């Protein structure tokens, strides 16, 4: 177990494994997102309250879910990098940041496009919306801390610390709709009991979520490979590429 | 039929705006990541080739 863990954390091994996995995850992401989009826009029935406007859920919820997943992964990787001094973990964390920031931006923007017709406002300083905006600032802060440090080791430590401290925001975002009186609706899928959504509407959503997950994995591995190339630019194994 | 679909029950701008924006951001991310990877790989290859000569 320990041996295989170290082997996985070796940059050449990771670089090759990721190179092999990227096309598979990429194709899976493409198929799932296309099927989910068709299901969400065409096959799912209109909502009895929101009509066709509810279809924004099919891009909003996967984006918001992936923004939290990306942050959790980034913070975990940064924590592993800080504690065990594994450079590959910092490389993965750094690779996750721009994708996570994009998902957070999408969650906010599509939420705004959904809020305008349903709530009558583009934005409100509400617990869910505000904590998600803070998530965007955490991603951007992490990225600018890295950009401001030319020394990769220093950049890893400074940005990694921010990522780990900022993880308290993740449960705040998730439970914000329960803890505070929120304009935002409550949980639909991840809650006790049955999901509050019919199967016709649910399967395209789950398909989109898995598709977004595969997309995230694809871009994460491409970016992590770029990170490895930059960090290992003096290593001999690169000659065999 | 098709115009009904495009009309999205009066929410066309919001629904198509959301899907269009999402598609654009996901595509830009993918293309940007691929471009960065190609640049760095080309850089490493040039460097290794230059080292072999000396």
- Residue B49: inside a domain: yes
Q: Is B24:A59 a contact under the CB 8 Å cutoff?
A: no
- Residue B47: inside a domain: yes
pLDDT at B51: 81
pLDDT at A7: 63
Instruction: For A127-162, write each residue's pLDDT tens digit.
Output: 999 999 999 999 999 999 999 999 999 999 999 999
Which residues of chain A register pLDDT less than 50?
Answer: 1
pLDDT at A192: 64
pLDDT at A51: 92
Tokens of A197: 């959504």
Instruction: Suggest the residue from A52, A61, A98 to mutate for an interface test with chain B (most B CBs closer than 10 A).
Output: A52
pLDDT at A86: 92
Taking Cα atoms as reference points, which of A121, A101, A102 lies closest to residue A111?
Answer: A121
Domain coverage including residue B45: 21-54
Rg, C-alpha atoms of chain B = 22
Taking Cα atoms as reference points, which of A61, A59, A56 lies closest to residue A177?
Answer: A61
Instruction: Suggest the residue from B15, B21, B40, B45 to mutate for an interface test with chain A (most A CBs closer than 10 A).
Output: B15
Q: Which one of B15, B18, B44 has the shortest CB-CB distance to A229? A: B44
SS3 breakdown of chain B: % helix, strand, coil, rounded to 5?
Answer: 95, 0, 5
Collect all residues of chain B within an 8 Å Cβ-Cβ radius of residue A51.
9-11
pLDDT at B2: 84
Which residues of chain B register pLDDT less than 50?
Answer: none
Give CATH for domain A2-229: 1.20.120
Tokens of A27: 């194709």
- Residue B16: inside a domain: no
Please give the backbone phi and psi of residue A47, each rounded to the nearest 5 degrees, phi first: -75, 145
- Residue B11: inside a domain: no
- Residue B52: inside a domain: yes
pLDDT at A87: 93
Is residue B27 less than 8 Å (CB to CB) from chain A?
no
Q: Is A20:A94 a contact under the CB 8 Å cutoff?
A: no
pTM for the structure as a whole: 0.94
Cα of B17 to nearest chain A Cα, Å: 8
Does the distance separating the beta carbons of B14 and A98 come in below 8 Å? Answer: no
What domain count does chain B have?
1
Cα of B32 to nearest chain A Cα, Å: 9
Cα of B3 to nearest chain A Cα, Å: 13
Collect all residues of chain B within an 8 Å Cβ-Cβ radius of residue A60.
18
Instruction: For A204-235, write each residue's pLDDT tens digit.
Output: 999 999 999 999 999 999 999 999 999 998 88
């Amino acid at each position: 177990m320990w041996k295989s863990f170290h082997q996985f954390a070796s940059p050449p091994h990771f670089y090759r494994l990721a190179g092999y996995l990227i096309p598979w995850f990429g194709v899976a992401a493409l198929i799932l997102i296309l099927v989910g989009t068709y299901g969400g826009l065409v096959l799912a029935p209109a909502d009895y309250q929101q009509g066709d406007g509810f279809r924004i859920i099919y891009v909003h919820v996967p984006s918001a879910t992936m923004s939290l997943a990306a942050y959790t992964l980034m913070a975990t990787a940064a924590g592993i990098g800080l504690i065990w001094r594994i450079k590959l973990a910092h490389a993965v964390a750094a690779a996750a940041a721009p994708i996570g920031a994009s998902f957070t931006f999408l969650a906010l923007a599509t939420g705004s496009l959904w809020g305008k017709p349903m709530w009558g406002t583009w934005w409100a300083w509400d617990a869910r919306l505000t904590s998600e905006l803070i998530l965007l600032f955490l991603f951007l802060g992490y990225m600018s801390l890295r950009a401001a440090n030319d020394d990769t080791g220093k950049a890893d430590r400074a940005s990694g610390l921010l990522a780990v401290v900022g993880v308290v925001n993740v449960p705040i975002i998730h439970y914000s709709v329960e803890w505070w009186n929120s304009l935002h609706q409550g949980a639909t899928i991840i809650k006790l009991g049955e999901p509050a959504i019919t199967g016709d509407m649910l399967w395209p959503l789950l398909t989109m979520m898995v598709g977004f997950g595969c997309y995230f994995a694809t871009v994460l591995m491409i970016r992590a490979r770029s990170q490895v190339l930059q960090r290992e630019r003096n290593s001999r194994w690169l000659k065999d590429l | 039929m098709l115009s009904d679909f495009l009309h999205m029950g009066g929410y066309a701008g919001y629904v198509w705006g959301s899907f269009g924006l999402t598609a654009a951001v996901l595509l830009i991310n993918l293309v940007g990541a691929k471009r960065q990877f190609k640049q760095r790989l080309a850089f490493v290859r040039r460097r290794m080739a230059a080292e072999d000569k000396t």
